[in-house]
Structures are given as structure tokens and as C-alpha cells.
Amino acid sequence: MTAFAKPDFVSFDTFDAFCDIYAARSNFQKVPSYVVLSPSRRGNAVSTQDKHVSQFKRRSEAPFFSDKNIKDLEERYLSKISKFTSMLPASEAGGESGSAWSKKRDMSDYTTWMTLDVITDLLYGETLDLLRSDKYRWIPNAFRMVQWRNLICMNYPTLLKGKMDRILLWPARKELCQLQNWTYGKSRDEAYRGEDETKPNLFSVMKSAEARRAGDSSVDGIVKDIWSESMFLLAAGSESTATTMSVTYFYLAHAPELLKRVTAEVRSAFIDAEEIRSGAIFDSLHILQACILETLRIAPAAPNTLPRVVPAEGAHIAGHYIPGGTTVGTSLYAMQHNAMYWDRPDSFVPERWLARLKEETAKEIAATASPGFAPFGMGPRNCLGWRLAWAEMTVALARVLFLFDMRLESDAPCCAKRGGGEECEPDFPGYITMAAKGPYVEFRRRQDEAVVASGECGNPRRRSGPSVAT
Ligand code: HEM
């Protein structure tokens, strides 16, 4: 199906069109309005239109996001995951004993705090500790307002002319300034900071001489480069991963039988929470991986049309001739809900992935675009940070299921509103990336046996391998 979103903008929802637009062989540039995703005219990895600048930026940042480096950074992101899991059943005023359920937790908050703690450490070598302190908790809220403004400006770039956005989109003005000032300060500190080889971060890569673009190695240039990248990476590195995790909690909390199966799978594969890391055993947790793949399908974190410009000579997209200069794109949400590829496209059905998981790992499936599924995009402008996202969300989710029993809050408003026979849907406004709200979930230490927390008493069980549902 082809939809005309505006007279000069055609949106598609098929995989053929997706490949014609985004594959490496295509020569479609991003639309100029991606500039809204950068605070300065220098652009950043996501906003730049120029193929050579994009290649340069991706070449310099790719080693940081490689499999090897993500493994080397493991202890750093695991320490935040441990803090995250320690917060969930924590005792509040009034106290909670080992078997009591916690107060309800808003999982979109907890996952966002955790992922922001990870990404600020990896970008600046400094953790803001949002999980424990509320000093920087304004940042995710500010990003949401800015994302709202960015989506509107990307679709109506005339708003940027004469800075009309400042007047018409005034509710986001304060947050935009606040975020820009804060990230500018961090970027300046980072540019002047000496190298700390024990704690490499992404920007040490950018500061290194060979990674500098010829002709601009001034500190001022470095500050602006770091600043431009920061504004996008802080949002991309936290919100998308956090949303995917929250939506997975949402569906699991609504499906007690599935939750039981996936929990049993994780608990039978490991003896200790600290053992849960990316790796071979992890790859055999097929039910868990199927749940994450299904979340990436049903709630892609970048749901909207990713707009590109048709080259001057025009092009054929899914058999249609489209004149040069037209804006085109495929909405990942529309493609991943297209009944041409999926039976019951609007339902959460992790079982649909199980047959495929016997042939390919979930990580390969997530990273390689296939008919009706491309959550991390495709081609020369696909997601640069997908390996980090995958590592964080799979390990964090498995550790939570291993350590805690979990249930949906009682009287969840989504269930109360639902009509007979309807399924609940998560609340996630789609800006440039999705921003989940909720779900509210309660936790208690697992009751099936003595708690198997890290460093606690030995567990006599042997790893029996995961039970894979067929
Ligand atoms: C579940 C989590 C994530 C999802 C689903 C996701 C998805 C995507 C998608 C679909 C794109 C293509 C956007 C476009 O064409 O306009 C993209 C681009 C990008 N993502 Fe992600 N992302 C995730 C997490 C991350 C993380 C953790 C990072 C880094 C810390 C990151 C960094 C980037 C960058 C730098 C680009 C721009 C690449 C370019 O234009 O060359 N993403 N992401």
C-alpha cells in the first residue's frame, strides 16, 4: 500500500519499498530537516545528509559500538543493570519483607534512568546516577518535550525559517535551551579533559587526532562536534532501549502464562544472576528472545517514516515511478504491522519467532532486515548503537525475571478501559522515537526457592538448559 502523506511526500508500508529506499545500492539522501536533530550547523551522525561526512562519522564511531568493544564495556553497563535490579523490590517507608510485593513501579521511568546512566557513562565517562538521585531526572522529561518539537519540525521544516518554532512550539523552548546548555557544558568539560585510558568513552575516539576531520582540530571545533553528537546520542541511547524494555514488561505483565514460561526458562538456565551476560547460554533462551523480537516488531522504537529524498533523476519504488526531489519513506510501524507479512499483526505473539530461532540467533534476526521487519533500519544509515541496545535490554530483562516475581498493578487503567475481547495496548506516544508511559508493575523476591542473588548462598541446582516451547 502507498499513502500520500502530503503532496510531495509518499509513504510506503512494504518491504520492497523499504529496500528500494534504504538499501546500500540506493542513493537516497536524508531530508534536510534531519538538521533539527543537531544543535549546531556542524551536524551529527544522524542528521548529516552528506554521504562522505556520514561515512567518516560512522567509521570513527563504529569501533566504539563494535561487538568487541561492547564486550569490553560489559562491566560498566552491568553495574548499572545491577543497580536497576536492586531498586525494584527495595524497601520503602513502611518496609517490605522478603516475600512482600513492592509498591508499583513505573517501568518507563526505571528503564529510562538505567539506560541514561549507561549512556552518560559511555559518552562522558561519568554516571549521573538517575537511578538513585533525582538531581538529573529532569533530563528524560526535557528530551520528551524536545522530541515532540523535533517531530513537528521534521515534518514542517518551514517552522525553522525565521525561528518560528520558538514561538509556535513554545512549550518545548525552555527544555530545549536547558538541554542544550547542559550538554554544551558537558561537551566543553569533555573536550578539555585529559585522556583516561582506564575509562575510555566515545568522545575520546572523536578527540583522537586521526579521527578529526582535516582542517578543524581546534578545541572549539571539538566542543561543537561533541555537543552535536551528545544531543542525539543521549536520546537515542536511552529512550529507544528503555521503550523496548518497558513494552516487553507491559506484554509480559499482561500474559501470566507466558510470563511463567519465560521466567522458568531463564531460571533453569542460570545458577546466579551475575552469570547472566550476553553469550552462548543467553542465545539459547528462545522464549525470552522471541519476546524481545516481538516487542521490536509490535512497538518499533523508531516508528515513523524515516524520510529520504528521491535523487534528481527519479526512481522506481516498489514498481511506482517517483519523480526526483519527492520525499519518500517507510514507516517501520506500518511495515511491521502489515498483514501481508504477519498473521494477527496487532497482537503480541512471540511464538511466531520460535521456528526461525532454530536457524538464526535473535541478534542476527534483529540486526538484519527481513520481509516486514527492520527495527534497526537498513543500509548505510542503519542504527549504529544496536549492539549496545541489544546487550542492555536482553541482560537487564533476564536478570529481572531471574531474581523477581512480577505482576501487573491491580486495577491497571488499560484493563479497566478495555472492551470485551480487546487486548490492552501499551501507551507510547510516537515522537522521533517512542516514549513509553508505564507499565506499572509490582515485584517481589522470587518465591520458588531461596533467593539467588549475586554472592548469596550457593544454589544446588545444575544448569538444565532452557526449556524451549514449541
Ligand atoms: C532498541 C533500541 C534502538 C532502536 C530500535 C534503534 C533504531 C534506530 C533506527 C531505526 C535508526 C535509523 C533512523 C533513520 O534512518 O532515520 C537508528 C539510527 C541511529 N541510532 Fe539507533 N536504535 C536504538 C538504540 C540506539 C542506541 C543505544 C544508540 C547509541 C548509543 C543508537 C544510535 C543510533 C545512531 C547514531 C543512528 C544514526 C545512524 C546514521 O544515520 O548513520 N541507537 N536507530
pLDDT band at 462 (very low <50, low <70, confident <90, very high): very low
Taking residues 83-89, report their average pLDDT: 92
Kindly list the structural domains of the chain, giving each domain's residue range(s) and its CATH number in brackets, ordered by start: 1-30+303-336 (no CATH), 37-300+349-445 (1.10.630.10)
From 386, 387, 393, 394, mutation site for ligand 1 pocket: most ligand atoms within 8 A of C-beta: 386
- Better pLDDT: 344 or 147: 344
User: Which pLDDT score, from 0 to 100, does residue 468 have?
Assistant: 36
pLDDT at 53: 87
415 in a known ligand binding site: no
Q: What interface predicted TM-score (ipTM) does this complex get?
A: 0.98
Is residue 387 very low, low, confident or very high in pLDDT (cuts 50, 70, 90)? Answer: very high
- Tell which phi-psi region holds residue 307, choosing left (phi > 0), alpha (psi between -120 and 50) or beta: beta
pLDDT at 90: 63
Cβ atoms within 10 A of the Cβ of 208, count?
Answer: 11
**Torsion angle of C-alpha atoms 37, 44, 65, 303, degrees rounded to 10:** 30
pLDDT at 210 over 60: no
Q: Is the pLDDT of residue 83 over 90?
A: yes
What is the distance between the alpha carbons of residues 104 and 3, in angstroms, rounded to a whole number?
A: 42
Counting atoms of ligand 1 from 1, which one is nearest the CA of 374? 10
Kindly give the distance from the C-alpha atom of residue 229 to the centroid of ligand 1, in angstroms, as a whole number: 13
Question: Given this model, what pLDDT does residue 94 score?
Answer: 45
What's the confidence (pLDDT) of residue 3?
Answer: 67
* 301 Cα nearest atom in ligand 1: 5
In which band, very low, low, confident or very high, does the pLDDT at 195 lie, cut at 50, 70 and 90? low
Distance (Å, whole) CA 73 – CA 65? 10
- pLDDT at position 301 over 80: yes
- Closest ligand 1 atom, CA of 332? 10
What pLDDT is attached to residue 385? 95
As a whole number, mean pLDDT of residues 346-359 equals 96
Query: Residues with Cβ within 6 A of ligand 1?
Result: 45-46, 54, 58, 119, 233, 236-237, 240-241, 244, 301-302, 306, 375-377, 381, 383-386, 388-389
C-alpha grid cell, residue 204: 575520546
Centroid of ligand 1 to alpha carbon of 392 (angstroms): 14
17-43 average pLDDT score: 90
pLDDT tens-digit series, residues 160-186: 888 888 888 888 888 888 999 999 999
Reported as a pLDDT band with limits 50, 70 and 90, residue 190 is: confident
Task: Let me know if 271 is exposed, middle or buried by CB neighbors in 10 A (0-12, 13-18, 19+).
Answer: middle
Tell me: the pLDDT tens digits for 232-255? Answer: 999 989 999 999 999 999 999 999
pLDDT computed for residue 376 by the predictor:
97
**pLDDT tens-place string over residues 119-155:** 999 998 888 999 999 999 999 989 888 888 888 888 8
Residue 97 has pLDDT above 50, yes or no: yes
pLDDT score, position 93: 45
User: Residue 157: pLDDT above 60?
Assistant: yes
- Report whether pLDDT(417) > 80: no
Which helix (H) or strand (E) covers residue 416, if one does?
helix 413-417
The per-residue pLDDT for 202 is 80
Calculate the average pLDDT of the chain.
86
